[in-house]
Each structure stands twice: as structure tokens, then as C-alpha cells.
Structure 1
């Protein structure tokens, strides 16, 4: 263990801290360490633990002396007191660092998973480069932000950041081109067709209507609105 005060290495800092006129608790508080942070090398702590367990098992007096503490541990009283004590004390810097690193690690894992999903979608669509995919799907095909995000398996907020990073101007909301609107119509029709297992949703709707299905029934099974269904069946 390296002493934060003088930089020297020891198997255990317990006795050494007296040279700096500090207790273990004062040392941990001074340097923002967790109260549970061991101040001994792992090998030394293991030796001490084994020695103390052997002494405890061999000593009826020690067992009697610690009986009250064992009862408190079993009942949960010790954990309750520890929580109360922690609330009254300032949060150690090490704990903040541990929590911050845990949060950052979780975000890195999420980012990696998002990248994997996007790359899989790119490969499935025949793209090898993200910039190329963005220009083809969003610029050339004039898809909306929503349709582009869905096509490339990217969240909308992340998609907007990626468009800016690749120097692609984001179209103002509500000003998508006619091509973009047509693209959304086709996407909706494709989704409805996949839902009912049809190749051509318009033909499927007309056939079901001829068989006697109502507009309400067809809207429910396709997951669309009644006017949407009626528009695709057309005048008969």
C-alpha cells in the first residue's frame, strides 16, 4: 500500500499512520477514501483474516464477547446503523469517482450496442460507410428524420448529431419534400403488409373487402386508421 502522505510503500498503513499523527478514519476522510477501503495489502489482509478466524474459533471468551455483535448482524441492526451513519457524513470522493465511472461504463456499453445495431442495419441495406448511408437515405431519397432513423437503426437525437458531423444540412421540421412524404407513405404500407403477411397491401385490402370485411375490421388488423384503409381500397 502506498501512503498518500509520504509516498512510501507498506504491507499495512495501520501502524505507519501513527507517524503522521492520524487515525485510519482520519486518513480515509482526508483523502476522500471509502470507509470500507482496506489499508493493508491484500495478502497481508488475508493472513490477518485467517489468523483472527482461527483465534475466534479457538476462544469461547471471544465468541461470547462478540455474541451481541453477531446478533445485531443477523437482525440487520448493524446495516441499519451503517446507513444512518453514512447519511450523517459527507460522501467520500472515492465513492463519487466509483459512481461516475460506473455511469460512464454503462454509457460506453450502450454506445457500443447502438453502434453494433447501426452497422448491422447498414450491412443489411448494402452500405459499408455511415456517411454514404446518411447521404443516400436522408439526402438523395429525401427520407424524413424519423424514416432515416428507423432505416439505419439510429435514435433521432443521435441521427441529428451524425448528420451535423458529416456536414449534412438538416431540413427544417415540416418542410420535407414530396419525395419524402411519398417515402413515408410507402413505409407505412410496407409495415401494414408485413403485419398481415401480404405482398401487396392494396390488393389484400380489396380482396378482404370483397369477402365482406368492414373498414373497422381491416383498420384493426392492419393497425391503421379507417380513412387510411378506405383510401387504399378506393372507390368500388
Structure 2
């Protein structure tokens, strides 16, 4: 009798291991499929389950398997698939019979009908397991990509240690949460979690650090420059002043206050 991998099976206490609910276990060494009922392995499990007084569909429902799950060994399933495909290609009648279904599949109508029919229906356990495995793999991939981006950002700013980077950029240089997150290529939420992890307190809202003031001034300069279509707002303001523009006119053009315009004209 085939041995079922312990991680996918349950011990009945009688020395026989059975696949867990919602899992179809294959023995790749013998190219067979293991029965949930008796624990033995067969090439054609769908035919075998009749010995347990079940149809293949009833077996799938009873043990939480996908309704379209093949209950055959991989080699047998492949043989059957090739045989059906050859018969389909050789029969114009079969091709005509399935033409409507192919058109529905291409248009997406088949998927819409499937989901509509499934409304309110409980998914098989196997589908839940497959979905959770896929989501978990996607999250791990995204986490690795985020870590890679952060590592590259650390190197670009001359750091090899994350804790050192956080203390230097946020605590010592007093960059804002937004600026520090941008420099490290992470989201603000993750940055706050990292600061807590390294024991670095987050400055209270409204704290007016020198770095914060510089950051806001830089953003204001960029916004004003974009509004008037220049890259150097101070040079633009001095040029317009030399041409005779008043502070009030320049204030209206840039959308900034008169004192702000005066300070940029005097900047060197």
C-alpha cells in the first residue's frame, strides 16, 4: 500500500494514513491517487470510489475537493486528455456542438454565469486551501520585493544598517515621517512600525523641526515653480522684478504671499 505524506494525512489509529479533508494526495513515485476512505492508492480513483458506494461527484463533495478535480493518476489524465482532444478534432459535429461554449468562454460570459450560479454556495475546502496558498505566496513575493527596494535605498544613501539609517535620517537630521519613508522606499505605516521596532519615538504631530521646515519650503518652491512653468523660482522672480513686475503681481502669479515672494527674490 502507498504511504501518504504525513504532512497531508491523518492517522486513523489503525496504522492507516488518510489524506486530510480538502486535499487530494498523489504518490508521484507510483503515479497513483490516494483514497480518503480506505487509504489505498489507485490510478483511477473515480472508478474505485464506486466500491464505497459513491459516485465521483459525491466523493468530491464529501471530501471537500474541487468539482472539476481529476481523480486519476497524472499519466492516465494526460492519456484521456489526448484521446478526447483527438476525437474532438476529428469530429466536425463535436466542434459545432461546442462552438457556442467557446464563444461564451472568449467573451467572459461563461465566467459570469459560473460566479452567478455560485452565489451563496459554500466553496469546497480544497478551493479555500488553494486560495489561501495563493494569497500567502503573493504576500511573500510582495514582502520580498519591498525588502529589496528598502535595501537598495539604504545602499543609495550610504547605509548598511537599517537601525543606523532610521536614527540618522529621522532622529538626528529630523526629516519628517514622509521624507524618511520616501528616502527608504517604504510606506509611512511601515516606517512607523520600524521606528517602534528600533525604539525610536515618533515625534508628536505639530512638531516643527528644522528638517520639516526645509521640507515644506522645498515643496512650496516646487509648487510655485510648476505654476509659472520654471525650474528655478528664485531666478524667475528676479527676472520678472527686473522687468518691472511688482511684488503684488508676482504674489498673484505664484499663488504665494508677498513676504514669501520678497524672501525668494532676496535669496542667493
Using structure 1 for the length normalisation, give the TM-score. Answer: 0.76
What RMSD in Å do the two structures reach over aligned CA positions?
3.4
* Separation of aligned partners in 2, 1:12 and 1:229: 83
Q: In the aligned structure 1, how far is the partner of 2:119 from the partner of 2:133?
A: 22
Aligned to 1:20: 52
Q: Which has the higher helix share?
A: 1
Q: Say yes or no: does 1:181 pair with 2:212.
A: yes
Task: Please tell me whether the aligned partners of residues 215 and 229 of structure 1 are also in contact (alpha carbons under 8 angstroms).
Answer: yes
Q: Deviations over 1:93-142 (max 9, x none)?
A: 22222222333333333322322222222222111111111000110011
Identify unmatched segments of 5+ residues in structure 2: 1-32
Aligned to 1:215: 250
Distance 2:180 2:218 in 1: 11
- Give the distance between the partners of 2:103 and 2:235, measured in 1 at CA: 70
8 Å Cα contact 2:237-2:250 kept in structure 1: no
Tell me if 1:97 matches 2:129. Answer: yes
The aligned residue for residue 71 of structure 2 is 39
CA distance in 2, matches of 1:121, 1:212: 46
**Unmatched segments (≥5 aa) in structure 1:** 220-224
Q: Which stretch shifts more, 98-107 or 150-159?
A: 98-107
Conserved? CA contact 1:2–1:8, under 8 Å:
yes
State the match for 1:222 in structure 2.
Answer: none
* Normalised TM-score (structure 2): 0.68
**Alignment of 1:134 onto 2:159:** no
Structure having the larger proportion of residues in strand: 2
- Tell me the SS of whatever aligns to 2:139: helix
Provide the aligned length of Structure 1 versus Structure 2.
Answer: 223
Aligned residue number for residue 256 of structure 2: 226
